[in-house]
A and B are shown apart, each in its own frame.
Chain A
Amino acid sequence: MLAQISQWFIWLNQTTGINLTIVYDSYDRGRMIDGFLNTIYLSLICLVISVIIGVIGAWLQRSSLKWTRRLVQGYIQLFRNTPPLVQLYFFYFAIGSLMPKIENKYGIMQPILSNWDWAIISLSFFAGAFNVEIFRSGIEAVPKATVEAAESLGFNRLQVYLYVVLPLAFRVCLPALSNNLVNLVKTTSLAYAIAVPEMLYVANQIWSDNLNVPEMMTFLLFAYVFLVGILVWAMNRLERRLQLPGYGG
């Protein structure tokens, strides 16, 4: 069956010139599957970390210390108003070179954080800067009365935040959050620039080796739209499940 499909794609290449090596060439297929999985992996990790950054940042932004708030605000503005690609280069090539180094088995002093690590850090911080604002606006939608009620029940500050404010705020900002997470998945393609073998990187290698740019390009577009589609679907389901009675239409 598989062999027949491969045969058909080889035939397609010979007759029409449409060269989808990712179907019939096992090496290219393996690369592309890895790339696809790497994109998912990178997206998921950054997704989780950026949400954590968002929660912590929103919490710090309500701190009573002026400088903590300023620091968070500075972080947000810096990351939101500079290009993520330059951030990535800056982290990887500039900050990365100042990191401590350890000797690897090839006798080379290797910086402790790899391109993977930097891609994760840089993209998470980028998306996190947006998440802070999103969570903050969600938190502000929780009325003071609710917080006071929780406090009067003996919750401390952290408990109020974790058990009362956050669950409510999370529901409010889900639409904005899912929007930002979609952006994050799309932004993972930038990791190409620092040689993280995600989908765009692999596609580029394949079209360099086989000179089949249009085919790979089309494949890429549909693969990303597919991934984003899944995320949007999942977020919509989550939104419906978490819906509070009387809110949202």
Chain B
Amino acid sequence: MKRILLGSAAVLTIMFSSIAIAHADVLSQIEKRGTLVVGVKADYRPYGYLNPSNNIVGIEPDLARDVAKALGVQLKLVPVVASNRMQFLDQGRVDLLIATMTDTAERRNVVDLVPPDYYASGVNIMARKKSPFNNWESIKGAPVCAVQGSFFNEMVARKYGAKLVAFKGSAEALNALKQGRCAAFVFDDTFIAAQLQQQQWSAYDIPLKTIDSKPWGVAVKKGETRFARFMSGMVVHWHVDGEIIKLQKKYGLTPIAYSVRMHKFFDDNFVPSAN
């Protein structure tokens, strides 16, 4: 009897006790295990989406592949959503986040957002062309679809008084918009612009002035300075080479102003060494 009790107690202890987490510099860990684990979006076409053979492809997976190549290791992509990505990074489930994440002060408290930023987007809404929205104040009280975990949700609800209907991912939110369950969908303007290129959204547009235009950052776990420095180098290299502009063209997007500006800035001010 006693042994059984001890046994079950041990099982419970293992299940509930907080367990010591091994700690070492993430860069040496990556080298040791020979794999780089990157958190990317899987429902954010064309930045990260699924193809029929169950691989995640898109602009950000391509960037991740570039990082793995530079490190000389294998790449493993982990799909993340806005509401879990920072937890994943914090727990060490992923080494690196390239997941459409906007660089905000609050997030800088939690993760290391590597300078410089690699992309930029602002907040806008996607709505039917004939809808009455012409400024941000006009969305007050309107049911607006959103994605759980977007940083601007709170602002849109608190400042502009929209009635948010937040879903787990952008696919559900777009569905709800299409079915007329919300009057608009509030999200990154880059995403909306990419959607609007498709024929099925021809009756929709992006009616408001983009606000809160903010850059996207690549994130590493807080305190991983060596890896953060390495990633800084990678992002600078992408801007110098116009890598991101090339990728946008590859996936059928018009390069955004931010990419063009950054490319020009780094091209003018940064002289690469030998190669």
Q: A–B direct touch, CB within 8 Å, in complex?
A: yes
CB of B149 closer than 8 Å to a CB of A? yes
A108 close to B128 (CB less than 8 A): yes
Complex CA–CA separation, A211 to B105 (angstroms): 13
Residues of A within 8 A of B86 (CB): 211
**CA–CA, A110 and B130, complex, Å:** 14
Binds B, one of A35-43, A157-165, A201-209, A234-242: A201-209
From known contacts A106-B142, A107-B132, A205-B166, infer whether A101 and B180 are also in contact, taking CB-CB under 8 Å: yes
Q: Is B183 a contact partner of A97 (Cβ separation < 8 A)?
A: no
Contact of B130 with A208 in the complex, beta carbons under 8 Å? no
Q: Which residues of chain B are within 8 angstroms of A27 by Cβ–Cβ distance?
A: 158
Chain A neighbourhood of B131, CB < 8 A? 106-108
Contacts of B82 in A (CB 8 A): 208
B190 contacts chain A at the CB level, 8 A cutoff: no
CB closest residue in chain B, given A27: B158
Q: Contact at B168–A209, with CB atoms within 8 Å?
A: no
**A195 is an interface residue with CB less than 8 A from chain B:** yes
Determine whether the beta carbon of B180 is less than 8 Å from that of A93: no
Interchain CA distance A111-B143 in the complex, whole Å: 13
| A/B interface sample: 12 pairs, CB < 8 A | A93-B179, A96-B179, A96-B181, A101-B180, A106-B131, A108-B131, A108-B180, A193-B167, A205-B148, A208-B149, A211-B106, A211-B109
Which A residues are CB-close (under 8 A) to B165? 115, 195
A207 to B167, CA, bound (A): 15
Main secondary structure of the interface of A (DSSP, over half): helix
Chain B 77-119 residues near chain A, CB threshold 8 A: 82-83, 86-87, 106, 109-110
Indicate whether A18 reaches chain B with its CB closer than 8 angstroms.
no
CB-defined interface of B151-171 with A at 8 Å, one 1/0 digit per residue? 101100010000001111000
* Interface membership of A109, Cβ < 8 A: yes
Interface residues of A (CB under 8 A from B): 27, 93, 96-97, 101, 104, 106-111, 114-115, 193-195, 201, 204-205, 207-209, 211, 213
A111 contact from B110, B154, B179, Cβ within 8 A? B179
| CB within 8 Å for A97 and B179 given contacts A193-B168, A195-B166 | yes
With a cutoff of 8 Å between Cβ atoms, the chain A residues found around residue B167 in the complex are 193-195
Min CB–CB distance A15 → chain B (angstroms): 16
Residues of A within 8 A of B148 (CB): 201, 204-205, 208
Interface status of B175 (Cβ within 8 A of chain A): yes
- 5 nearest A-B pairs in the assembled complex, by CB-CB distance: A106-B183, A208-B149, A195-B165, A110-B180, A209-B154
Q: Is B172 an interface residue when CB atoms closer than 8 A count as contact? A: yes
Contact at B183–A108, with CB atoms within 8 Å? yes
15 extra A-B contacts, CB within 8 A, seeds A205-B153, A211-B106, A213-B87: A27-B158, A97-B179, A106-B142, A107-B130, A108-B131, A110-B180, A111-B179, A115-B181, A193-B168, A194-B167, A195-B145, A195-B176, A208-B83, A208-B153, A209-B151
